[in-house]
Structure 1
């Protein structure tokens, strides 16, 4: 992206904790023989903002007078997954805090684990929506994918990321803060968990990926030192590099990203302030997650310089696109295609801003 010399709109952004939701799928256990069990459940709210306190509570009714194991499950495209656990009181009452760290609108239910004498049972499902505390601008339809299919990372695994600050501009502290803030916003928008693994000596998108490297790498170079074409007015390129054949939650063949990152032109970012750098990073990490450019100038995935006038928050189209490549879309599963493992490389995206 080309460096913009105009003053951007300043906006504060809070550091957001990455989601700690458990991503393992939970198959419905077989019903044990024995006494019948009934489970009631109700949400304390049907909509909230991130971090809002929401509780699923209810009562277990059976012939026993013992504590029962209760799990809270959330529905995503690939099935029900466990997001909380507790034990009921002897009178059958229970309450479980519902995770609200990311944007979603999905069903939740509780399930009582079977015992040797008592049956298991799931409650009726209830829908909860976690929505932004701000009003996202633009149309939710203003988003697109990088390719012709919905290629993406597997949102059910934790993605690692590292930063190579050896040549970072404008300075290591500024870029680290901007990258961490961006990753937190992406996690909030997608439900994907990220883990920062620290400083790395590797460079992104250089086709020298090693097993010890983070999944996503941020690094700096110059146009003269890379074949990726960062000049004369392109400030960065972002995306994923290698992809493998996989199936999505609906069984469709897609390409699953296995490594990627953002490469910045150190000459262009040298004169950016903290806000401009994060605005650029919000756009580039959108590419890393699988989003392409859009014509709408009120979205971070715009191909124009207007992104430098946006607040440090993803907008309506950005958020909708990120949800399509996030946890609600369900887990992916790598497969052999036509009897072999297929590997494909994808060129990272660059945007020239006038």
Structure 2
């Protein structure tokens, strides 16, 4: 299905120049008059699998024996983000355990904050790659975006999700397990954090959004009860509903997703086993996160029945697409016009053949 046309909106972005000047003026004396500080950093390995133990350790060298505040930072497209904080020992030693919960290839460094007597300092950056423990199928080039402007969620905020199991098939336990497992795999592939908000009485993509609703909702209906067309070859639809104008880490205009989800055809899912239901959910969550269909049958974003023969993990093209839409791609920021955010409703056009 084609998406509705969008009318360009001119946006005026106000920069907090005064605050920036104030911070710079306050920080300048410590840097200019403080004693020199150096910080070293050594990464225990350059590649790891999810859950692997990786440390970044080193020394803070300055004139004086005191515990210094040290920050572990990771480079994403929108800049350096704080990952962890700590203090060095009196002899200057420090060590961080680096998070390896998601797939990424980025640089890490440590930064020592300035004090009244000592300057701040930043260590040399080291690259770490967290890669799958399995060999993904297919080509990394086998991925597409759902929208032309790479519409996506802001990966720097925690997204909530809820499940409406009132009509769930084949049963509430099977679908809840499949959805939770899928959300864990999506988080691992994107770096986006998800929080389960619990059972919800709302349905996804029904244009009856309430402020208390989770960001992402999973629900069930029949073709006769919805205008979203869950015909004989469509087991579910997934995508986002409301979006707003935003800019990505490089300043490019995009549409940021605000809410969305997956609506299942309860007649089709009634005959699925646990594995088939999760395979379907892995596909639809790809759409929810901004991925479109691909022709490669060895990827979860294939629109055909081939997805039901894939192992329960995302493949090479799926993972590459997620890396372009997830945390490694950087934070997004809304564009405001006269103090208001420009919103748009999006018709979910993602389909899956059963």
**Pairing 1:7-46 to 2, within 5 Å after superposition:** 32=31, 33-46=33-46
1:122 is matched with which residue?
122
1:325 is matched with which residue?
325
Whether 1:277 aligns to 2:293 is: no
Unaligned runs of 5+ in 1: 1-26
2:232 is matched with which residue?
232
Asked if the contact 1:77/1:330 (under 8 Å) is kept, the reply is yes
1:9 is matched with which residue?
none
**Pairing 1:7-156 to 2, within 5 Å after superposition:** 32=31, 33-156=33-156
Provide the rounded CA distance (Å) in 2 between the counterparts of 1:223 and 1:350: 15
1:299 is matched with which residue?
299
- Relative to the length of structure 1, the TM-score reads 0.90
Structure 1 SS opposite 2:196: strand
Asked if the contact 1:234/1:350 (under 8 Å) is kept, the reply is no
Structure 1 range deviating more: 152-161 or 84-93: 84-93
Asked if the contact 1:112/1:121 (under 8 Å) is kept, the reply is yes
Provide the rounded CA distance (Å) in 2 between the counterparts of 1:51 and 1:88: 25
Unaligned runs of 5+ in 2: 1-22
Change (3 A) 1:349 1:186: same
Provide the rounded CA distance (Å) in 2 between the counterparts of 1:104 and 1:215: 24
Asked if the contact 1:287/1:349 (under 8 Å) is kept, the reply is no
Provide the rounded CA distance (Å) in 1 between the counterparts of 2:343 and 2:84: 36
Asked if the contact 2:244/2:343 (under 8 Å) is kept, the reply is yes
Asked if the contact 2:222/2:267 (under 8 Å) is kept, the reply is yes
- Relative to the length of structure 2, the TM-score reads 0.90
1:190 is matched with which residue?
190
Q: Deviations over 1:245-287 (max 9, x none)?
A: 0010001110000000000000000000000000000000000
Deviation of 1:64 (Å): 1.1
CA RMSD of aligned residues (A): 1.5
Deviation of 1:336 (Å): 2.0
Greater fraction of residues in helix: 2
Structure 2 SS opposite 1:246: strand
Change (3 A) 1:102 1:252: same
Q: Deviations over 1:283-322 (max 9, x none)?
A: 0000000000001110000111100000000000000001
Q: Deviations over 1:126-153 (max 9, x none)?
A: 0000000000010000000011111100
Asked if the contact 1:245/1:337 (under 8 Å) is kept, the reply is no
Asked if the contact 1:66/1:90 (under 8 Å) is kept, the reply is yes
Asked if the contact 2:106/2:127 (under 8 Å) is kept, the reply is yes
Deviation of 1:350 (Å): 3.6
Structure 2 SS opposite 1:349: coil
Deviation of 1:340 (Å): 5.4
Q: Deviations over 1:76-108 (max 9, x none)?
A: 001101111111111111111101100000000
Q: Deviations over 1:55-89 (max 9, x none)?
A: 00001111011111111000000110111111111
Whether 1:251 aligns to 2:251 is: yes
Provide the rounded CA distance (Å) in 2 between the counterparts of 1:247 and 1:295: 29
Provide the rounded CA distance (Å) in 2 between the counterparts of 1:223 and 1:307: 22
Provide the rounded CA distance (Å) in 1 between the counterparts of 2:241 and 2:249: 23
Provide the rounded CA distance (Å) in 1 between the counterparts of 2:124 and 2:231: 57
Corresponding pairs, count: 328
